[in-house]
Structure 1
């Protein structure tokens, strides 16, 4: 715990200071939460993107259900292959860390092994899944450089009488190296041109929500560039999650609008900011459909990966052209 920071929650379980920061200024402590253990949601999600493919890994503790997922996304075929393991009634037994910069996550059983290891200057993802596809085993050994750059940090409340909040950090533009194997097939990452993003979330939500989220990490004019955009989740009147990243520094945006065809999400998506500092179009490559209905847990939505083109404008007025960079955007409705 950083003594210069302050507690995320007050004695009643409400956020002490809702809003946005480019540094992790809040101290999260699960024991401060004033809500049923059934309502607490915690997860770490990594998306590791190459020009031709991506792999994503999730460890989530949703209270009444734990979920571990490994996904392979093939941009050439437009198909996803994934394996999900569900563990009932976890209620915090995964012991997910209180911040993304300290603490390891390790889970093993006879069918899989998930290890998210945190070092001072990097994060390592070691994942094994037995019989991932066609009786072929899956193994990932990836290293993500973590320069402790500016990041997206937001504490979002709901306007409810009961304490409901979402504490989220997004770490973009982490140079990624290593390999993933599926049977005899090998997939390689080069830290000079391939990047990962971490979506780190903790909170107590209202039961039904719809959100929009977009993320990208790549290279523009020889420097690391990325963004996090989104809305629809809680009360963001004290700060939005819209931010550009360039050479390790954050450049804050105001409101960003997503335009998509709900009847055909593989048509181009458009994104624009009210301050005229972001105008982008995403041409989809792959639709990662999530239609989960487990009575209590329901997810309905699309996470679409594609190529982004357009421009953004930094805080100092510098205009950057975005050309064929791969990222993703999603529209999700969940019942947790």
Structure 2
């Protein structure tokens, strides 16, 4: 069976035309980062790097972003044993000092301000991620890129002037250390990392769903709402690092009055149940700009179908599912 109606891009391409509009030749999906996000000017341009790290003891989230009018950076840690959350958020006017390269996996990411500093050194062999928020955390990890490991890159075309390029890289190995006020923790066996690299020009209002999960030899990347009606999706199954692109829009069912009730994510090639064990709620209000995110951590069960039509069963994949509502 064909894996998807969507076009696979196999060579380097610029995201934008010289006048700043979307390059039609950039619309498609990739197995490794091939897009150069040559965004021009302001006009609702958004750039971010999000790294999520899941270990047997902790869940860590790091965000470095430039939203034109502000840099919104943050660090977060959940202790899975105690349920304790710690974190630090910073808003830097006009994203002063933020360095966010135009290619995923190349160059250096650097943001600083408001008591938060995040740096990522990206190389062909992998990335080194450093984050420091005094009194909150000190993180130093290596995230290797295994040979043959694939990631999902997608361009979502709302219009010629509103579009988003995302790379979702799920199930990367990670090793290093996490220092918290409560003590030092080694990161290695049983841990994985997820990258969300985003570059684009967004409408003022948008809602999205995102789920990412990983386990031995398997990983899931699923999205919804924000891609509906564009002809593109950000859905994929990874088996031993190989991407199986899922081109259909999926149905997400969950209870907005009780985020910890089970979620379902379904389609012709996906039947997933997600059982949360913790909800992280985050809100940012900056006048006419605001965001509300409910990110639930938990375990996934069910099955998904490969490009060849085989159903792959999974039970106990760990990760998260979220709903984010943006005014930006």
With normalisation by structure 2, the TM-score equals: 0.89
Distance change >3 Å, CA 236–CA 15, structure 1 → 2: farther
* Map 1:267-306 → 2, pairs under 5 A: 267-273=261-267, 275=268, 277-306=269-298
> Partners of 1:256 and 1:131 in 2: how far apart?
41
> Partners of 1:74 and 1:23 in 2: how far apart?
32
> Partners of 1:8 and 1:282 in 2: how far apart?
34
1:194 matched residue in structure 2: 191
Distance change >3 Å, CA 110–CA 256, structure 1 → 2: closer
* Map 1:224-235 → 2, pairs under 5 A: 225-234=218-227
2:66 matched residue in structure 1: 61
1:135 matched residue in structure 2: none
> Partners of 1:304 and 1:184 in 2: how far apart?
24
> Displacement of 1:79 after TM fit?
4.1
2:230 matched residue in structure 1: 237
2:306 matched residue in structure 1: 314
1:8 matched residue in structure 2: 15
Distance change >3 Å, CA 184–CA 287, structure 1 → 2: closer
Distance change >3 Å, CA 281–CA 78, structure 1 → 2: farther
2:253 matched residue in structure 1: 259
Distance change >3 Å, CA 69–CA 110, structure 1 → 2: closer
* Other structure's SS at 1:214 match: strand
> Partners of 1:271 and 1:247 in 2: how far apart?
22
CA deviation profile, 1:165-220 (whole Å, cap 9, x unmatched): 11111111110111101124122222x4211000000011000001111111221x
> Displacement of 1:303 after TM fit?
0.8
1:153 matched residue in structure 2: 153
* Other structure's SS at 2:62 match: strand
CA deviation profile, 1:44-103 (whole Å, cap 9, x unmatched): 000000133211111001111102211001233444321011110127x41211112111
1:141 matched residue in structure 2: 140
Q: Structure 1: which 4+ aligned runs deviate by more than 4 Å?
A: none
> Displacement of 1:330 after TM fit?
0.7
Unaligned runs of 5+ in 1: 133-137
Distance change >3 Å, CA 108–CA 27, structure 1 → 2: closer
With normalisation by structure 1, the TM-score equals: 0.87
Which of 13, 19, 35 is the equivalent residue of 1:26? 35
Q: Does 1:212 align with 2:217?
A: no
CA deviation profile, 1:16-42 (whole Å, cap 9, x unmatched): 232323232322213xx3xx5151110
> Partners of 2:295 and 2:252 in 1: how far apart?
13
Cα RMSD (Å): 2.0
> Partners of 1:61 and 1:307 in 2: how far apart?
31
> Partners of 2:285 and 2:13 in 1: how far apart?
38
2:178 matched residue in structure 1: 180
2:94 matched residue in structure 1: 89
* Other structure's SS at 2:231 match: coil
* Other structure's SS at 2:104 match: coil
* Other structure's SS at 1:172 match: strand
1:46 matched residue in structure 2: 51
Distance change >3 Å, CA 142–CA 314, structure 1 → 2: same
> Partners of 2:113 and 2:326 in 1: how far apart?
28
